[in-house]
Amino acid sequence: MKNFKEEKHILEICLSDVAFPELLKTIKNPPSKLYYVGNLDLCNTPCLAVVGSRKATPYGKWAAYHIAKRAAEHGVTIVSGMASGIDSCGHMGALDAGGNTIAVLGCGPDVCYPRTNRELMDRISRTGLILSEYPPGSPPLQGQFPARNRIISGLSYGVLVA
């Protein structure tokens, strides 16, 4: 591991590193590098992915928040993509429970997308993990979001689609 950008506390880890998340080593096409801010050890805890629509219904948002909150209260780390809608509700449920959450981004770990999630990203970076296979400064490009989904599912023992 090396410190990539000291001022932002962004670290880098390679697939060959002993500390690389174990489950991610087993997926098809694992990322060769990860850039992160926060507690990388969360990748080796029991994780549940919470994913769904960006334009979720009120009930979908309620369900994602409460299921994630309850899971986090029982020691499960919530993994999602920090998108609007279901993703954000899953992260918030975990944080409000005092639990752990991992945000897997489709851009660099220092890029907040959507911008409306700045407060959420700051909160996750203080108590959880911001993770990306894209280097710092990488903009959010359309094809990167489906690609990051393999990391979300690859870290998780189960996936909740709300």
In a domain, 25, yes or no: yes
Expressed as residue numbers, the domain containing 54 is 2-107+117-161
In a domain, 46, yes or no: yes
Q: Is the pTM of this model over 0.75?
A: yes
Contacts of 18 by beta carbon, 8 Å cutoff, 6+ apart: none
b/e burial code for range 103-138 (CB count within 10 A of at least 16 → b): bbbbbbbbbbbeeebeebbebbbeebbbbbbbbbeb
CATH code assigned at 19:
3.40.50.450
List helix spans (H) across the chain.
Answer: 22-25, 58-73, 86-96, 118-127, 144-154
In this predicted structure, the answer to whether residue 12 has a pLDDT above a threshold of 60 is yes
Would you say 82 and 117 are in contact if contact means Cβ atoms under 8 Å apart? yes
Domain count within the chain: 1
Average pLDDT over residues 113-140: 97
In a domain, 112, yes or no: no
In this predicted structure, the answer to whether residue 130 has a pLDDT above a threshold of 60 is yes
In a domain, 144, yes or no: yes
In this predicted structure, the answer to whether residue 40 has a pLDDT above a threshold of 90 is yes
Pairwise pLDDT comparison (107 vs 6), residue with the higher score: 107
Predicted confidence band at 3 (pLDDT cuts at 50, 70, 90)?
very low
**Beta-bridge partner residues of 51:** 161
Would you say 32 and 13 are in contact if contact means Cβ atoms under 8 Å apart? no
